[in-house]
Chains A and B, each alone.
Chain A
Amino acid sequence: MTVIAQDPAVRYKGQIVTARIAVPAEDLRVGPMGYRLQLVDYDASRRHFNGQHKLPARYEEEPEAWRRGDAAIVEDYRFHAQNTYALVMRTLSRFEFALGRRIGWSFSTHQLKVAPHGMYDANAFYSPEHEGLVFGYFTGASGTPVYTCLSHDIVVHETTHALIDALRPRYMDPSTPDQAAFHEGLADVVALLSVFSQPEVVVHLLRPRTGKEAILINRKDVLPAALRQSALFGLADQMGSEIESMRGSALRRSASIDPDPALKDTPEFLESHRRGELFVAAIIGGFIDAWSDRILSSGTPNQRHFPLARVAEEGANIADALVTMWIRALDYMPPVHLQFGDALSAALTADLEVRPDDSRYQLRAHMLARFAAFGFAPASRRKDPVGIWDAPPTGLRYDRVRFESMKSDKDEVFRFIWDNRTALELRDGAYTEVLSVRPTVRVGIDGFVVRETVAEYYQVARLTPQELTDVGVKAPAAYLRRLAELEREAREKREAAAKGKAPPSNDGAPDGYDAALDEADEGIVTPLYGGGILIFNEYGQVKYWVHNDVFGSGQFPRLRYLWDEGLILAGRDGTRLRASRLSTLHRLRAIGARRAFAEGW
Chain B
Amino acid sequence: MPNQPIKVEIRSYQVGFGDCFLLSFIYSARMQRHVLIDFGTTELPSKGTKSPKPSTYMPMVAADIQRVCGGDKGRLTAVVATHRHADHISGFGTDGRTGESGSIIKALRPKLVLQPWTEDPDAAKDATKATRVSNRSRKGFVAGLASMHEVARQIAALAATNPPWMSAAVRKELAFIGQDNIANLSAIENLIAMGEARGARSRYLNYGDSSGLDALLPGVSVRVLGPPDLTQTEMIRKQRDRDPDQFWHLLAGTQHGATGRGLALGLKGRTRAPEERLPIEGRWFRDRLEKMRGQQLLEIVRSLDSQMNNTSVILLFEVFGKKLLFPGDAQLENWSYALEDAPDAAEVRDLLADVDVYKVGHHGSLNATPRTLLWERFKKRKGRQLQTLLSTLPGKHGHTASNTEVPRRTLLERLETESHLLNTNDLSFGATPELCNLLTLTP
A378 at the interface (CB under 8 A from B): no
CA distance A248 to B267 in the complex (A): 24
Q: What mask results when residues 131 to 143 of chain A are scored 1 for a CB within 8 Å of chain B, else 0?
A: 1101001111101
Among the stretches A120-128, A150-158, A285-293, A415-423, the one at the interface with B is A120-128
A306 at the interface (CB under 8 A from B): no
CA distance A593 to B411 in the complex (A): 22
Contact A601 B369, CB 8 Å, known A50-B271, A132-B285, A583-B295 = yes
Q: Specify which chain A residues have a CB less than 8 angstroms from the CB of B73 in the assembled complex.
A: none
Majority secondary structure, A binding face: mixed
A7 to chain B, nearest CB (A): 14
Q: Specify which chain B residues have a CB less than 8 angstroms from the CB of A131 in the assembled complex.
A: 285, 288
A591 at the interface (CB under 8 A from B): yes
Which residue of A50, A127, A137, A599 contacts B372 across the interface (Cβ within 8 Å)?
Answer: A599
Which residue of B252, B273, B290, B295 contacts A122 across the interface (Cβ within 8 Å)?
Answer: B252
CA distance A127 to B284 in the complex (A): 14
Among the stretches B3-11, B60-68, B100-108, B255-263, the one at the interface with A is B255-263
Contact A138 B259, CB 8 Å, known A45-B293, A119-B293, A601-B408 = yes
A478 to chain B, nearest CB (A): 9
| Chain B residue at smallest Cβ distance from A132 | B285
Which residue of B268, B289, B366, B401 contacts A601 across the interface (Cβ within 8 Å)?
Answer: B366
B348 to chain A, nearest CB (A): 15
| Chain A residue at smallest Cβ distance from B237 | A592
Contact in complex: B265, A600 (CB < 8 Å) = no
A118 at the interface (CB under 8 A from B): yes
Among the stretches B171-179, B222-230, B241-249, B384-392, the one at the interface with A is B241-249
Q: What mask results when residues 21 to 52 of chain A are scored 1 for a CB within 8 Å of chain B, else 0?
A: 00000000001010000101011111111111
| Chain A residue at smallest Cβ distance from B339 | A599
Which residue of A113, A578, A581 contacts B285 across the interface (Cβ within 8 Å)?
Answer: A113
Which residue of A38, A569, A587, A594 contacts B299 across the interface (Cβ within 8 Å)?
Answer: A587
Contact in complex: B266, A119 (CB < 8 Å) = yes
Contact A268 B240, CB 8 Å, known A46-B267, A245-B249 = yes
Among the stretches B26-34, B275-283, B312-320, B434-442, the one at the interface with A is B275-283
Contact in complex: B332, A599 (CB < 8 Å) = yes
Contact in complex: A138, B242 (CB < 8 Å) = no
Contact in complex: A246, B266 (CB < 8 Å) = no
CA distance A115 to B258 in the complex (A): 22
B250 at the interface (CB under 8 A from A): yes
Give the residues from 282 to 315 in chain B that come closer than 8 angstroms, CB to CB, to chain A.
282, 284-286, 288-293, 295-296, 299-300, 303, 306-307
For chain A, the count of residues having a C-beta within 8 Å of the partner chain is 67
B394 at the interface (CB under 8 A from A): no
Q: Specify which chain A residues have a CB less than 8 angstroms from the CB of B272 in the assembled complex.
A: 50-51, 75-78
Contact in complex: B266, A48 (CB < 8 Å) = yes
Contact A245 B258, CB 8 Å, known A46-B266, A130-B288 = no
CA distance A256 to B243 in the complex (A): 14
A292 to chain B, nearest CB (A): 24
A371 to chain B, nearest CB (A): 20
A598 to chain B, nearest CB (A): 6
Contact in complex: B253, A143 (CB < 8 Å) = yes
B232 at the interface (CB under 8 A from A): no
B436 to chain A, nearest CB (A): 26
In the complex, the number of residue pairs spanning A and B with C-beta atoms less than 8 Å apart equals 196
A47 to chain B, nearest CB (A): 7
Which residue of A113, A139, A569 contacts B262 across the interface (Cβ within 8 Å)?
Answer: A139
B186 at the interface (CB under 8 A from A): no
Contact A44 B333, CB 8 Å, known A145-B267, A246-B252, A599-B372 = no
Which residue of A46, A566, A593 contacts B303 across the interface (Cβ within 8 Å)?
Answer: A593
B132 at the interface (CB under 8 A from A): no
Q: Specify which chain B residues have a CB less than 8 angstroms from the CB of A44 in the assembled complex.
A: 165, 286, 289-290, 292-293
B403 at the interface (CB under 8 A from A): yes
Contact in complex: A130, B285 (CB < 8 Å) = yes
A543 at the interface (CB under 8 A from B): no
Contact in complex: A593, B333 (CB < 8 Å) = yes
For chain B, the count of residues having a C-beta within 8 Å of the partner chain is 68
CA distance A594 to B262 in the complex (A): 27
CA distance A583 to B288 in the complex (A): 14
CA distance A578 to B276 in the complex (A): 40
B51 at the interface (CB under 8 A from A): no
Contact in complex: A584, B299 (CB < 8 Å) = yes
B49 at the interface (CB under 8 A from A): no
Contact in complex: B252, A242 (CB < 8 Å) = yes
Q: Specify which chain B residues have a CB less than 8 angstroms from the CB of A249 in the assembled complex.
A: 243
Give the residues from 64 to 82 in chain A that come closer than 8 angstroms, CB to CB, to chain B.
75-78
| Chain A residue at smallest Cβ distance from B333 | A594
Q: Specify which chain A residues have a CB less than 8 angstroms from the CB of B246 in the assembled complex.
A: 591-593
Give the residues from 238 to 283 in chain A that come closer than 8 angstroms, CB to CB, to chain B.
241-242, 245-246, 248-249, 253, 256-257, 268
Contact in complex: A45, B265 (CB < 8 Å) = yes
Contact A600 B371, CB 8 Å, known A45-B266, A119-B266, A134-B292 = yes
A231 at the interface (CB under 8 A from B): no
B45 to chain A, nearest CB (A): 23
CA distance A249 to B249 in the complex (A): 10
CA distance A36 to B401 in the complex (A): 37
CA distance A123 to B262 in the complex (A): 14
CA distance A581 to B302 in the complex (A): 15
CA distance A307 to B203 in the complex (A): 62
B50 at the interface (CB under 8 A from A): no
Q: What mask results when residues 28 to 49 of chain B are scored 1 for a CB within 8 Å of chain A, else 0?
A: 0000000000000000000000
| Chain B residue at smallest Cβ distance from A274 | B242
Q: Specify which chain A residues have a CB less than 8 angstroms from the CB of B403 in the assembled complex.
A: 566, 569, 578
Which residue of B273, B285, B332, B371 contacts A115 across the interface (Cβ within 8 Å)?
Answer: B285
A350 at the interface (CB under 8 A from B): no
Q: Specify which chain B residues have a CB less than 8 angstroms from the CB of A594 in the assembled complex.
A: 332-333, 336
B308 to chain A, nearest CB (A): 13
CA distance A78 to B271 in the complex (A): 12
Contact in complex: B263, A45 (CB < 8 Å) = yes
A186 to chain B, nearest CB (A): 21
Contact in complex: A600, B366 (CB < 8 Å) = yes
Contact in complex: A601, B258 (CB < 8 Å) = no
Jot down 7 A-B pairs with beta carbons below 8 A, ordered by A: A40-B285, A45-B264, A121-B263, A132-B285, A140-B253, A591-B246, A593-B246
Residues of B within 8 A of A (CB): 134, 165, 240-243, 246-250, 252-253, 255-256, 258-259, 262-268, 270-279, 281-282, 284-286, 288-293, 295-296, 299-300, 303, 306-307, 332-333, 336, 366-367, 369-373, 401-403, 408, 410-411
Residues of A within 8 A of B (CB): 31, 33, 38, 40, 42-52, 75-78, 113, 115, 118-123, 127, 130-132, 134, 137-141, 143, 145-146, 241-242, 245-246, 248-249, 253, 256-257, 268, 566, 569, 578, 581, 583-584, 587, 590-594, 596, 598-601
Sample of 7 further A-B pairs with CB below 8 A, known A40-B289, A44-B286, A596-B332: A113-B284, A143-B256, A566-B366, A591-B249, A593-B303, A599-B367, A601-B411
